[in-house]
Amino acid sequence: MSTPTQTETTSKSTFARLRDLWNDYLPYWFMAPMVAVMVMITFFPGAYDLYLSLIAEPTLDVFAADFVGLSNFETAFTRGGAIHSFVITITVVVSALLLETVLGFVLAALVAGVGSDRTKSFYRVLFIIPMAVAPVSLATIGRIMLNSEIGIIPYVINTGTPFAAPNFLSEVPLLTVILLDAWNWTPFMFIIFYAGLSSVPKTLIEASRVDGAPMWRRYVHVIIPYMKPVVFVATLIRLIDLFRTFGVVYGLTGGGPGTATQLVSINIYEQMFINNQITVAAAIAIVYLVLVVALCNVIIAKVGFEGVWD
């Protein structure tokens, strides 16, 4: 048995101690960076928005700040157009969500019923492509194709049909935004629903077919109930992301004409950089943040992730 020298013992034990520390507390090391970043991106912005919304002039020095109570909220909701922008946001979110859910489900069901596997995967790959288009590129496409002077779509409507094309960007801007978003993100619903449909056990479908139930009843009574968790998760995630909408509207209409497409996110941006009223922007931001987080959490609590986690 050889005796190690003094230095060897120390260096070895230091290394071993470090390694033990690493291995013994592995879950903590693994979690720590994630928790740190999460705290930074969840608690900090909310707290800071709240702080900014209560003061007169943005300053980092809390003790020098001039607290003005709710006056920023008053400005936001009287002259700031906050209520109008909330109404616009809810209109866009609800219409786009409904449209994308229904379209996505119908397309998924139609593709799932295609006989040949090759045709099936052809459609599946083709239909996801719009997701590759960034909102700002989608706005570009919209501006190119819908422009009342040079756009191909008004041109085709005017020359090929008896109807006169509306000016998509100034007469029906809200509808245009909703339709463009549906083009962009129906693929999201489609691909998740398609995966969900493929996971419905064959035996379940066979059993309902033996009953002689017509197709629509098979969907309503057997397939959709089975897919409930998938439908819930897809619509929840899409709902969350719809509240994040910014780029397509900013690039397409910039919130206009007037304030016709002024989403809350656009309104906050304009308060910040055009009106230079950061504290009013923060007041709208904190209300928006609280409402969205509360709504999503209520939905999660009410519907729950049953069948998702258990």
C-alpha separations of 253 from 10, 79, 197, 218 in Å: 69, 22, 37, 43
Q: Are the C-beta atoms of 135 and 246 separated by less than 8 Å? A: yes
Please, what is the minimum distance in Å from the beta carbon of residue 244 to other proteins?
6
Q: How far apart are CA 307 and CA 97, in angstroms?
A: 22
Smallest gap from Cβ 7 to other proteins, in A, equals 26
Smaller CB distance to other proteins: residue 222 or 251? 251
Question: Smallest distance, Å, CB 191 to other proteins?
Answer: 5
- Residue 307 is classified by DSSP as T
SS (H, E, C) 179-240: HHHHHHHHHHHHHHHHHHHHCCCHHHHHHHHHCCCCHHHHHHHHHHHHCHHHHHHHHHHHHH
Least separation in angstroms between CB 33 and other proteins = 5
| Pick 67 or 122: Cβ nearer other proteins | 122
State the nearest-atom distance from the C-beta of 3 to other proteins, in Å.
Answer: 26
Nearer to other proteins, 163 or 309 (CB): 309
Residue 7, H or E segment: helix 6-24
**By C-beta, is 5 or 164 nearer to other proteins?**
164
**Distance, CA of 271 to CA of 266 (rounded, Å):** 9
Comparing CB distances to other proteins, the nearer of 3 and 200 is: 200
Closer residue to other proteins, CB minimum distance, 70 or 308: 308
CA–CA separation, 191 and 295 (whole Å): 25
- In a 3-state reduction of DSSP, which class is residue 162? coil
Cβ atoms of 66 and 55 within 8 Å: the answer is yes
Please report how close the Cβ of residue 219 comes to other proteins at its closest, in angstroms: 14
- List the structure tokens of 107: 């397309």
